Amino acid sequence: MASRTVAKDIITLRGSAAIVSEFFGYAANSILYNRGVYPEESFAKVKKYGLPMLLTQDEGVKSFIASLTAQLSEWLESGKLQRIVLVIMSKATNEVLERWNFSIETDGEVVEKGVSREKSDKEIMREIQAIMRQIASSITYLPCLDEPCVFDVLAYTDKDVAIPFTWIESDPKLIANPQMVKLHSFDTKIHKVDTLVSYKNDEWDEQ
C-alpha cells in the first residue's frame, strides 16, 4: 500500500505501483466472475474498496494472477508499463471476444527524481470503487459469452524492457471492428489508469 505519514496522504512511486497492481488483480477477478469465464462456485467473497469483491479459489488462476501482479508492480515502479490488456478468447476457436484495456500514464518526474505526491487515499478508493461498479454493471450491455472461454493478459511495455524468463513477445490479439465503451479512470497523481472495454459486435446487434 501507499506509504503514508502519520496524518497526510503522501503517495510514493512504490505505493502507487502497489495500488495499481492490486487494483488490476481485483479487477481481473471481477471480470472473470462477471463474464462467467470460471464457474461462480470457484469464487469467494472478500471486502475491498468498500465493496464485496469476488476472488477465485482456483489455485492455478490464483498463482497466475499473483505472479502477474508482482511483475506488473516491478514494471510500474520502473515506469516502463504503458498498458495492461485482459483478453477473453473462445476456448474452441481462440477467437478474441473481449479486450479489457487499462492504459497507464506515469509521471516521469516521479520516476526520475523519486519525488512523492499528495492525494487522499479515500478519493483514490472512491475512484476505484466507481470502476469496479462499472465492471459489475457491464453485463447489461456486453454480449453473452455462451461458449467456454479462456483468458490471457498482455502487457504493453517500453521497447527497451528486458523480457523476464516467464514472459514472451506476443501479438496484440486485436478484435476486428470492435464496439468500445470507455469506463471511469483513477489517478494516484503518479499513475493514471484509464479503463476501456472493446468487444466483438454481436450478430444480433449487427442485425
Partner 1 sequence: MILRTPPPKKQRSETRDPGSLLVASSDLPLVIYEDPPSAAPPPQPSSGEHLLCTYQCRQMVKSDFFDALSCAEKQVDDYQSRSKALEENFSKVEAERKQILDRFLDSEQELAAAKGREQALQEQLLKEVKLRNEMNLRLKADASKASAEEKASIFERKLSNLSESIEKEKKRLHNEIELLERDSKLSVSRKSADLERMECRAINAEEESGLLKEQLEDLKKQLTECMHQKSEVEKKLSSFTFQEASSTDSNILVKHLQEELRNYESEVREARKLRSSRENIELLKEKLSEEKGRRERAEGELSKLHEFQMSMKKLEDELSSWKLMIKEIPGVSCSEDIPVKFAALQKEVIDCMMKEGDANARLKQMEVALDAVQSGKHIAETEAAFAKEKAEESKSEVKRIEVMLSMITEERDKLRDLVNEFKRLKNDEAGDETVSGTLIQELESSLAKKESCIKGLESSLHEQKKVNTRQSEEIKLLNERLNNEARRIKSLERESDRLRSEISLLESKLGHGDYSSANTKVLRMVNTLAVDNEAKQTIEALQNELQKTKEKLQAVEELRSQSGNAGKLVDSYISGKVVQLKEQIATLEKREERYKTVFADRISVFRRACCELFGYKIVMDEHQRANGIPVTRFTLQSIYAQGDDEKLEFEYESGNTIILANDYTSQPEISHQVDIFIRKLNSIPAFTANLTVESFNRRTLS
User: In this complex, which beta carbon is closest to partner 1, that of residue 7 or of residue 169?
Assistant: 169
- For residue 150, give the amino acid letter: V
Q: Which residues lie across from 196 on neighbouring strands?
A: 101, 182
Query: Where in 164-193 is the site for partner 1 (CB under 8 A)?
Result: 166-175, 178, 180, 182
The yes or no reply on residue 152 touching partner 1 (CB under 8 A) is yes
CA angle 178, 181, 185 (to 5 degrees): 135
Q: Which of 104, 102, 103 is nearest to 77 (CA)?
A: 104
User: In this complex, which beta carbon is closest to partner 1, that of residue 44 or of residue 66?
Assistant: 66
Residues 6+ away with beta carbon under 8 Å from 152: 86, 87, 89, 173
Minimal distance, residue 156 CB to partner 1, in Å: 5
147 secondary structure, DSSP code: S
Query: Where in 71-130 is the site for partner 1 (CB under 8 A)?
Result: 71, 82-83, 85, 99, 101, 103
Minimal distance, residue 168 CB to partner 1, in Å: 5
The yes or no reply on residue 198 touching partner 1 (CB under 8 A) is yes
- What is residue 197's three-state secondary structure? strand
User: In this complex, which beta carbon is closest to partner 1, that of residue 4 or of residue 91?
Assistant: 91
Longest dimension (CA), the chain: 59
Q: Which of 135, 18, 34, 147 is nearest to 89 (CA)?
A: 147
Candidates 163, 204, 206, 207; binder of partner 1 (CB under 8 A) is 163
User: In this complex, which beta carbon is closest to partner 1, that of residue 61 or of residue 124?
Assistant: 61
Q: Which residues make up the interface to partner 1 (CB under 8 A)?
A: 60-61, 64, 67-68, 71, 82-83, 85, 99, 101, 103, 150, 152-159, 161, 163, 166-175, 178, 180, 182, 196, 198
